């Protein structure tokens, strides 16, 4: 049965593409992300995963196409209150403590109702590290502080670049819990992975970025694209159709046997 949505997608990309020095990095991509969804972007190094998240977050302008947040075209003025981005760099001030970093972030972007910087730290397993300068934390602990900052943000859309990097098994399970709880609250997340994929709740959609601006998405059946999310015919979990007219960069591909 098709999935029906009575509200606009939290995030929608239409014919989205990005090039650098006239070299295509990804696209064109068409997909939508709705409340309660976690979608994985996969691809090798250089496939454009990080670039895609930077474009979706507004840090880079797309070369072509359109991005909509809650049905409205993305602009920098509308972006900051709606999206939380976790990048490769933790983006923490090393001279500040873990708690001070979260207070600073909350002062800039606000905080989710019912959550404080201290409870956000406790929620990622760092309740004993509130007063430790972040320069003294390990890479995994810094990643947890960055995750606490995402958790604290009063937004529905999470863009997480390699959220499992630098984490041990407990940290990986923590990320899974955060994603599951965020989806249950009606949020959505787009996450990247270089290969190892640790999210274990259900079978989320996958978008595969492969080198020469091709993409794949689906639940086991590879499809190369221009990626187009067809709301009228998608099953659960949704699959994206491949090789559509108007996307000559990428070859058509039939279903995997």
Query: What's the mean pLDDT in 130-152?
Result: 96
In angstroms, the CA 160 to CA 153 distance is 13
* Three-state secondary-structure class, residue 177: helix
CATH no., domain 1-81+189-194+204-257: 3.40.50
- pLDDT bin (cut points 50, 70, 90) of residue 203 is low
pTM, rounded to two decimals: 0.78
Question: Chain-wide mean pLDDT for the chain?
Answer: 78
For residue 55, give the nearest of 23, 82, 17 by alpha carbon.
17
Q: Look at the block and give the residue holding tokens 């989806």.
A: 183
**Tens digit of each residue's pLDDT (9 = 90 or more) over 46-97:** 889 999 999 998 888 899 999 998 888 886 666 657 899 999 888 999 999 9
Tell me: pLDDT of 175 over 90. yes
Ordered by start, the domain boundaries in the chain are: 1-81+189-194+204-257
Query: What's the mean pLDDT in 166-187?
Result: 92
For residue 238, give the nearest of 218, 221, 252 by alpha carbon.
218
**Tens digit of each residue's pLDDT (9 = 90 or more) over 161-173:** 999 988 888 999 9
pLDDT at residue 22, rounded to an integer: 87
Task: Give the least confident one: 34-38, 172-176, 211-215.
Answer: 211-215
In angstroms, the CA 223 to CA 240 distance is 7
Contact criterion met (CB below 8 Å) for 164 and 176: no
**Tens digit of each residue's pLDDT (9 = 90 or more) over 3-23:** 556 666 899 999 999 999 989
In angstroms, the CA 172 to CA 77 distance is 34
Tell me: pLDDT of 243 over 50. no
């Amino acid at each position: 049965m098709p999935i029906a949505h009575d509200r606009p997608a939290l995030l929608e990309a239409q014919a989205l593409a990005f090039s650098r020095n006239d070299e295509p990095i990804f696209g064109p991509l068409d997909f939508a992300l709705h409340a309660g969804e976690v979608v994985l972007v996969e691809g090798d190094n250089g496939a454009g995963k990080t670039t895609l998240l930077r474009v979706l977050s507004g840090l880079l302008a797309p070369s072509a196409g359109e991005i909509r947040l809650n049905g409205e075209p993305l602009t920098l003025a509308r972006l900051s209150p709606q999206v939380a981005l976790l990048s490769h760099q933790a983006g923490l001030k090393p001279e500040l403590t873990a708690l001070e970093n979260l207070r600073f972030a909350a002062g800039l972007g606000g905080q989710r109702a019912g959550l404080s910087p201290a409870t956000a730290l406790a929620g990622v397993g760092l309740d004993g590290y509130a007063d430790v300068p972040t320069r003294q934390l390990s890479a995994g602990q810094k990643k947890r502080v960055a995750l606490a900052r995402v958790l604290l943000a009063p937004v529905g859309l999470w863009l997480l670049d390699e959220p499992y990097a630098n984490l041990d098994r407990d940290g990986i399970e923590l990320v899974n819990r955060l994603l599951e709880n965020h989806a249950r609250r009606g949020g959505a997340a787009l996450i990247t992975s270089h290969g190892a994929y640790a999210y274990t709740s259900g079978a989320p959609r996958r978008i595969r970025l492969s080198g020469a601006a091709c993409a794949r998405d689906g639940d086991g059946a590879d499809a190369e694209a221009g990626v187009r999310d067809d709301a009228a015919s998608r099953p659960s979990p949704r699959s994206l159709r491949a090789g559509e007219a108007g996307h000559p960069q990428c070859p058509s591909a039939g279903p995997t046997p």
